[in-house]
Structure 1
């Protein structure tokens, strides 16, 4: 019997101390609600929990970012709504000024004065529509892309939010083939002999059609009257003059029929007297059909539906990279230096007048010549660069997540009057909405067309903003919130205390602690018994 080392007591003390530590640990976890209170509680688990916590905080901030971005987009959309109201008022004034029957110059000047005030208000909205800073203008083009094209006949159309800015010299624009409309040529000149017997024509364009009979109605009466006039006095009213009048009557009737039936076609007479009908839109994506009861007027065969000669899309390069053509518009392909940038080339070969001079330099006449395509765009032997596109890119980055690549770019448009209504062909030569003038009837009619174009542009801009808000911002916000919830659940699983399991664990340690304390008392009785034995001796 030994008293120097009480191994039973020491062993019991060790277990009791462990139980006491277990009780203390359970109390700490229950009181804090966390399984992980320090790195030693689970180093590997702590790493995973911290990663999830960081992700959760990042997603929470991303959600706040999106909420602020939605407010910014709504501010811009509100400004566009006010611009739409101004444009609608301008349209009313333009239509009013075009009413020559009841308006005089004074009334049209009053309409023009009001339009000028409206244009000033439009520019003011573009200048003052901001979000959180007076310098963060949303609708003056400073937070989007701006393009300027240098070169005759070239016009900037659009760029995308991912289109890079141009180098200092600009992107080269090289037009290699001109756009052409769908066309159909008559095979014989328009003469009295050709129209002596009535011809029925059916012309179809995009599910719309027009049909007429050269022997019926006003057209038929006009043809018979011209023919009769010539037959009565062929010397005074020559066949050449009669045929020319027939051609003019036929073209006027055709163009009116196209306009009344909303066919995008136009008719004209060629120098050799043949009829030409062509589509108003350029490119190979539109065409039309003609069916005639007799050959010569437009088709080579009678009663055979014939498709017009297909149109052609423009071809060329922008910034040295290949581009896709659609009609007159050339768009740089993805992956090229100017990807997404689009320009239009509006020049087409025309008939030009050339003065005829005698040997002394005096004008003795005028000759008409048809321009060749290579005179406008050059050729393989004589290449020509048509112009240069200068593009600045200041599209806005919207941070939508917590990672570097979690962003989208959006380009806010320039809605100043000088940037709206561009590219509309008009007699008054208005280049943009800022140029409209209602002081004459022709100008008022042209102004109405430009205002219509501007209204369409603003409607499309509002649709783009709405789609960006709904499908990019709000849906991303929903996905971000769901991801944040899942990260929170995963972090909770690693970090938070399971109260029921921890209570059971603490109860176990408490029982072991009480049992150990009791056994420790028993283990200490052994040396005491030896002491009693020594005292008795």
Structure 2
């Protein structure tokens, strides 16, 4: 190779290597300072796409865990109201048993009636005051609440809480109205028509209240394995029916279900349109709480037993849902931990390994700078030829 000064190939080669080293050094400094292996898409395009998906899941699971904890709080609030409701009903039942004894005179039974009336008013107050974040839980206005406990938009990411059995307002109304109920005998639950359009009507002081049913049981036919309680529950879940009426199961002396007792909340006498599988209604002696006679006190005991059982069932359902929320929180936390670890393995810098790269690049940078200076000096020998 000739002795040239216009083109210094050694310097150009050294500069190219030094430039590459400087890029590596800059990349290492960026990764070491941020702690991230992927700072831009160019660092690892596929890894970036995967890590962003994982980041979405982790963020969603974090919020979902809080949602599930809110669900636990809602259930605990509702269950707290039902606990006191059950205590009140138990006290009412004790009073009804006391009133069933003919050793009580008229004043004694009047005192019992006064206390029961006050307790019924408290049930009404509890139904209206038990709320979470302004959402009333026990007045029948919120029959079902949905909670997002997963990070995705499918049904498996939600838990529904059924509050239809926790309608304390309906219980208070049933106990307060000492009006006659109408019994509708049912020979076979499987024969009950589930189609919509049937009506229940009550008349009180010339005012007529009518409820037109939707399709009972969601339009799904009752089967031989269904019970009379299923029919009563289906009626009470119908919003049009529950607005003006309440249904309980009637039983014979042996405790066998024979039909449905329907009571109007306005105290009127109940009639209905023809319903397949349901006999014409027969007005009874009253389903409300009365303590003026031993017979009425016994009827009150039966009615209170029905309401206590309903509250027990509702509390058991809420307890089961709370346990489900607890497990959902645990699963969500485990998934969040594992997905965070997966994201970390993709995006986080291995500091020790990157420090090795940085040290190597730093030494090469210093060496390259020194060699570039030497390469630039290599053509100085031409000057000696020009003297």
Unmatched 5+ stretches in structure 1: 146-159, 164-174, 180-312, 333-339, 344-388, 394-413
Who is 1:461 aligned against? Answer: 314
Residue pair 2:143, 2:163 contacting (<8 A) in 1 also: no
Q: Can you list the C-alpha shifts for 1:447-499, whole angstroms capped at 9, x where unaligned?
A: 1111122111111111100100112x111111111111112111111111110
Who is 1:450 aligned against? Answer: 303
Give 1:35 shift. Answer: 1.4
Matched, 1:14 2:23: no
Q: Structure 1: how far apart are the matches of 2:61 and 2:364? A: 45
Assess, with a 3 A threshold, how the Cα gap between structure 1 residues 431 and 106 changes in structure 2: closer, same or farther.
farther
Who is 2:149 aligned against? Answer: none
**Is the helix fraction higher in 1 or 2?**
2
Give 1:506 shift. Answer: 0.4
Q: Structure 1: how far apart are the matches of 2:220 and 2:297? A: 42
Indicate which of 87, 103, 119 corresponds to 1:85. 87
Q: Structure 1: how far apart are the matches of 2:381 and 2:351? A: 45
TM-score w.r.t. the length of structure 2 is 0.69
Q: How does 1:54-73 map to 2 (within 5 A)?
A: 54-73=56-75
Give 1:49 shift. Answer: 1.4
Indicate which of 178, 196, 200 corresponds to 2:187. 178
Q: How does 1:275-290 map to 2 (within 5 A)?
A: none
Give 1:8 shift. Answer: 1.1
Two-structure CA RMSD over aligned residues (Å): 3.2
Residue pair 1:80, 1:462 contacting (<8 A) in 2 also: yes
Unmatched 5+ stretches in structure 2: 145-160, 165-183, 196-218, 254-260, 265-285
Q: How does 1:4-403 map to 2 (within 5 A)?
A: 4-100=6-102, 102-133=103-134, 136-144=135-143, 178-179=187-188, 314-319=190-195, 322-326=221-225, 329=228, 342=234, 391-392=238-239
Secondary structure of the structure 1 residue equivalent to 2:132: coil
Who is 1:487 aligned against? Answer: 339
Assess, with a 3 A threshold, how the Cα gap between structure 1 residues 94 and 178 changes in structure 2: closer, same or farther.
closer
Q: Can you list the C-alpha shifts for 1:412-461, whole angstroms capped at 9, x where unaligned?
A: xx9x9x85x8224589x894997110111100011111112211111111
Q: Can you list the C-alpha shifts for 1:311-360, whole angstroms capped at 9, x where unaligned?
A: xx64354237543134763969xxxxxxx9746xxxxxxxxxxxxxxxxx
Q: Structure 2: how far apart are the matches of 1:69 and 1:327? A: 31
**Is the strand fraction higher in 1 or 2?**
1
**Which entry has the higher C-alpha Rg, 1 or 2?**
1
Q: Structure 1: how far apart are the matches of 2:355 and 2:306? A: 74
Residue pair 1:127, 1:139 contacting (<8 A) in 2 also: yes
Residue pair 1:178, 1:328 contacting (<8 A) in 2 also: no
Who is 2:258 aligned against? Answer: none
Residue pair 2:137, 2:163 contacting (<8 A) in 1 also: no
Residue pair 1:316, 1:330 contacting (<8 A) in 2 also: no
Residue pair 1:98, 1:441 contacting (<8 A) in 2 also: yes
Q: How does 1:458-537 map to 2 (within 5 A)?
A: 458-471=311-324, 473-535=325-387
Who is 1:234 aligned against? Answer: none
TM-score w.r.t. the length of structure 1 is 0.51
Who is 1:423 aligned against? Answer: 249
